[in-house]
Structure 1
């Protein structure tokens, strides 16, 4: 009996350790999704304190890039010149700049839901760039997501169901760039297997810095940049917030990379949808932003398309396990 008892305890202990080992990677992705769902708020604070969206994005991305360079300096040698990596930098930069600008200036949930039209864009980009068939399933998911977007955006007064303001357009652009980024990362993993995974993130944040500098003229240009520098140098609180945000972004990226390497791609994509829950609660609580019945119905259709994209995998479909590489 003593031996059996010890065996039972040993089995329970092993099962508990196994459960913790399986839960930890999923938890890291859940934490990352929570950070992304809250990231809009510190960017809005910085904008209120004189650091506009694009300069703030440049500053935080620079901090993240510097930290990733220090942490992964031994992997820098695996980088190779390739137009694919240039494309990754471009798509990652466009994703982050548009996402930060959109959530700073637009209605957070509407911007985020338009961002999550990624199943539509992923199917199209994978077809064009990877030669993958869209198929009946893909067409159904595209129709469901676009139907949800149309339900959200259409109104008798505004006519065609298209984004109604620059913030919403930025959310849609960010989603398209995010999908392009995922497809290009798939190509990179096939064509450049020697490039370490962490260097993809490094390339993305380099694109965020360069992309932010390129579009700065559209967000006030040199005057906005000078105002941001003045605000950062004149207030330790503002500088501390920007530094903390940049460090959080870099740390989140490292943590999420751990999870993405150990969680199946479709499961990871579903966990990432928790970002919408966090954003909905935080935007309601912190910014008093609500959604109407039509917005909720359309948003549910978009989320459903994302969920079905994860739980009904197509073996030839471009996976989204690298999605965590490209967030703010």
Structure 2
């Protein structure tokens, strides 16, 4: 279900980097099964409910069989909750906006990370922080086609932005919190994501999934167990071992996978504005990664 500690690859210092690259590609292709489930009759929120339920059942069964204890610190639980918010809003956003817009707007996460570190974690604001923030916001401006009016932002765009903010905070809490088993962290995340999907469906007045659409329900359950559990598990395993800035940079590979697949299979427009915006966001993530690698390691919190 999650990387085995006995594997030679997992024992290597490069293991989190290599596995993050793989999971980034899989996240970049996540829109495809979500759109497939939607074509079978489920909305984004409904698919999120059932996919996360399937993931929770699968990881819960594994923990029972393997006798894995559910031990999470308060900081880690909060981090898992925010990662769950990020995942739930990210998945729903794919059904409400262009794949390219959702992915690129999510990757404002490095900018949010810098603001959070300065405002709440007492980190010093440096010249690179200003540069990162400027590049990220400039990239978002271009992704939106140069229109910053509220009329240009749809619900899917807003959810993509929320996803990036939640991921930035959640990843920081997971990294600084007491180390937990990946299985327990994954279970907490999918449960929170399922609850958020339920809340979104209730707020928007969507009907709850019913047995009348059995094929879509079964497909969603299987998708959660087979696709979501390993990809999310690897992501959270790496999040406990890599600084948030470096993790965000490695996940920019998701932009390439998502944008290319969206342009090929959906024929979505991808002109000079979006290309330039994407490059600016990737540059911001790269600068943050370099700064994170050059900075001295900070002591991890134990609370």
Q: Which structure: greater helix fraction?
A: 1
Of residues 215, 221, 240, the one that matches 1:243 is 221
SS of the aligned residue for 1:76 comes to coil
Give the equivalent residue in structure 1 for 2:212: 230
Match of 2:286 in 1: 307
Does the aligned pair in 2 maintain the 1:154–1:161 contact within 8 Å? no
CA gap 1:139/1:198 in 2 versus in 1, 3 angstroms: farther
Cα-Cα RMSD: 3.0
**Could you say what secondary structure the match of 2:288 adopts?**
helix
Q: Taking structure 1 as reference, are residues 93 and 265 closer, same or farther at Cα in structure 2, changes over 3 Å only? A: closer
Please say if residues 44 and 104 of structure 1, whose CA atoms lie closer than 8 Å, have aligned partners that are also in contact.
yes
Identify the match of residue 162 of structure 2 among 162, 173, 179.
Answer: 173
Structure 1 stretches lacking a partner, 5+ long? 1-16, 320-328
In the alignment, the residues of structure 1 paired with residue 103 and residue 251 of structure 2 have an alpha-carbon distance, to the nearest angstrom, of 12
Match in the other structure for 1:68: 59
Other-structure match for 1:282 = 261
What do the CA deviations read for 1:285-318 (whole angstroms, capped 9, x no partner)?
2111121211111111011101111123252698
Match of 2:189 in 1: 204
Evaluate the alpha carbon distance shift between residue 239 and residue 142 of structure 1 in structure 2; reply closer, same or farther with a 3 A threshold. same
Retained in 1: the 8 A contact 2:87–2:163?
A: yes
Deviation at 1:262, TM superposition (A): 6.9
| Maintained 8 Å contact 2:81/2:192 | yes
C-alpha contact 2:245 2:289 (8 A) present in aligned 1: yes
Residue 87 of structure 1 contacts residue 184 of structure 1 at CA under 8 Å; is this kept in 2? yes
Which moved further from structure 2: 24-33 or 244-253?
24-33
Change in CA separation of 1:75 and 1:218 when aligned onto 2, cut-off 3 Å: same
TM-score with structure 1 setting the length: 0.77
Shift of 1:23: 6.5
TM-score normalised by length of structure 2: 0.82
Per-residue deviation, 1:126: 2.1
1:115 pairs with 2:106: yes
Gaps of 5+ in 2: 1-7
Aligned residues: 287
SS of 2:69 mapped into structure 1: helix
Alignment of 1:251-290 (within 5 A): 251-256=230-235, 268-290=247-269
1:94 and 1:265, CA in 2 relative to 1: closer, same or farther beyond 3 A?
closer
Aligned to 1:213: 198
Q: Deviations over 1:80-131 (max 9, x none)?
A: 5x3x345324312321221011112211111111100001111122223322
The Cα shift of 1:139 comes to 1.4
Partners of 1:188 and 1:114 in 2: how far apart? 27
Contact 1:42/1:241 (8 A) holds in 2: no
Larger Rg: 1
How far apart are the structure 2 equivalents of 1:182 and 1:159? 28
For 1:112 and 1:142, the matched residues in 2 are separated by 18
